[in-house]
């Protein structure tokens, strides 16, 4: 038996996977338009051991780029970089209000609402949104509350200008959050809000979601966005298209299975030629979740077959082990992850696997950042489909 002692800056296994998948279901509405292109690079946060040394897990962190506030011209192309800092949570920078105030947010395909922390919600963090300093801010006096896999937040809805680079949306409805005490590890997190990129149907707001508003505004070249998550290197989010420099194969297109989340019909899961699972028929592609996550019974079966041990709620194997590929089969194709893809941290001779057991009341798998680092994902808002391609390795972001 191996004994391992380490601590995560995120206080629980649920937050270790940083699930920002909202627990809500409704109906879907979308719209289509055409216009420009925007790139956003991504950052990641690290997991630390008790000795304080960074071990390189995953996080979605705020972009380092300076985001302008000038109106976007239709049919033009513009890039906005996001950084990727240490593979645990990917986040980027937006501007809110007039004049624009920079705020770092997680770009989350598992939820649909935008919220940013105010001074109370920031709890001492230096970066937050001050509505009183914005000449275009309007409070709606409507309460906001949302539950994520990592905890709850609450506040009030408001309207103001929101900009991502040159893409500008006046009078966008979002939430100004004053209570973030329910978020595990909030104090040590690098972000100050969450920008949901899911469909309108699961939004708490009665107004348009940010992506719906962007599409309707005609600012995007195409009603799509594409995620590239670098492995210990910067990542990139592109609004209005994809970045061919980070795509290494043709796209496999799969229709959205439900008019709610970015979900696909799951045919089966295979662990090499040893084990096949087919009980769960849906998988959600979620940029706001660090790990792979699935029903406990299935995850336990997979991990038992690999010989993994559970240590402090995490699945651990010897780094000398040779694990078969773990493959998710959907859209008529197999999307395989090797042991190298699955390992999120090494401690001595032990390797921590980026997989988590969950129980959220319905059978589904969540394909988080562990999956999205291997595969570039194109989210086609207009046609309600997902495109999957091998991600090109290396860091050639400008």
Whether residue 94 contacts residue 108, with contact meaning beta carbons closer than 8 Å, is answered with no
Among 110, 381, 78, which Cα is nearest to 224's? Answer: 381
Whether residue 87 contacts residue 17, with contact meaning beta carbons closer than 8 Å, is answered with no
* Phi, psi at 349, each rounded to 5°: -95, 10
Q: Please tell me whether residue 187 adopts helix, strand or coil conformation.
A: helix
Half-sphere exposure of 349 (CA within 13 A, CB side): 6
Q: How many whole angstroms separate alpha carbon 365 and alpha carbon 356?
A: 10
DSSP state of 252: E
The CA distances from residue 113 to 81, 244, 283, in Å, are 22, 29, 21
Q: Phi/psi class of residue 394: alpha, beta or left (left: φ > 0; alpha: ψ in -120 to 50)?
A: left
Catalytic center residues: 108, 286
The CA distances from residue 9 to 18, 123, 314, 351, 364, in Å, are 11, 17, 14, 18, 27
Among 356, 352, 385, which Cα is nearest to 368's? Answer: 356
- Which helix (H) or strand (E) segment holds residue 142: the answer is strand 138-148
């Amino acid at each position: 038996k191996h004994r391992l002692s380490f601590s995560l800056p995120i206080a629980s296994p649920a937050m270790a996977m940083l699930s920002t998948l909202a627990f809500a279901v409704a109906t879907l509405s979308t719209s289509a338009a055409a216009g420009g292109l925007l790139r956003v690079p991504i950052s990641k946060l690290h997991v630390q051991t008790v000795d304080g040394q960074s071990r390189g897990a995953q996080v979605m962190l705020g972009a380092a780029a300076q985001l302008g506030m000038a109106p976007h011209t239709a049919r033009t192309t513009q890039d906005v970089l996001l950084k990727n800092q240490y593979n645990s949570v990917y986040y980027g920078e937006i501007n809110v209000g007039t004049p624009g105030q920079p705020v770092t947010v997680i770009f989350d395909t598992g939820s649909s609402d935008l919220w940013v922390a105010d001074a109370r919600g920031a709890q001492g963090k230096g970066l937050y949104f001050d509505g009183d300093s914005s000449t275009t801010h309007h409070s709606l006096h409507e309460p906001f509350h949302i539950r994520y896999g990592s905890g709850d937040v609450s506040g009030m809805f408001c309207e103001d200008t929101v900009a991502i680079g040159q893409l500008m949306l006046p009078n966008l409805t979002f939430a100004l959050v004053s209570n973030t005490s329910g978020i595990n590890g909030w104090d040590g997190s690098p972000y100050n809000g969450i920008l949901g990129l899911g469909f309108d149907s699961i939004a708490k707001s009665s107004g348009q979601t940010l992506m719906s508003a962007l599409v309707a505004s005609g600012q995007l070249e195409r009603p799509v966005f594409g995620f590239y998550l670098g492995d210990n290197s910067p990542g990139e989010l592109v609004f209005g298209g994809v970045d061919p420099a980070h795509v290494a194969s043709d796209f496999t297109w799969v229709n959205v299975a439900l008019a709610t989340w970015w979900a696909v019909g799951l045919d089966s899961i295979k662990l090499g030629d040893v084990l096949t699972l087919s009980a769960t028929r849906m998988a959600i592609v979620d940029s706001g979740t660090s790990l792979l996550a699935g029903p406990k019974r299935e995850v336990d079966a997979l991990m038992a077959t690999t010989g993994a041990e559970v240590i402090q709620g995490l699945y651990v194997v010897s780094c000398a082990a040779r694990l078969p590929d773990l493959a998710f089969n959907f859209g008529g194709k197999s999307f395989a992850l090797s042991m190298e893809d699955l390992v999120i941290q090494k401690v001595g001779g032990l390797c921590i696997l980026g997989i988590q057991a969950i129980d959220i009341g319905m059978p589904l798998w969540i394909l988080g950042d562990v999956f999205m680092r291997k595969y570039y994902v194109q989210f086609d808002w207009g046609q309600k489909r997902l495109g999957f391609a091998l991600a090109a390795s290396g860091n050639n972001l400008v």
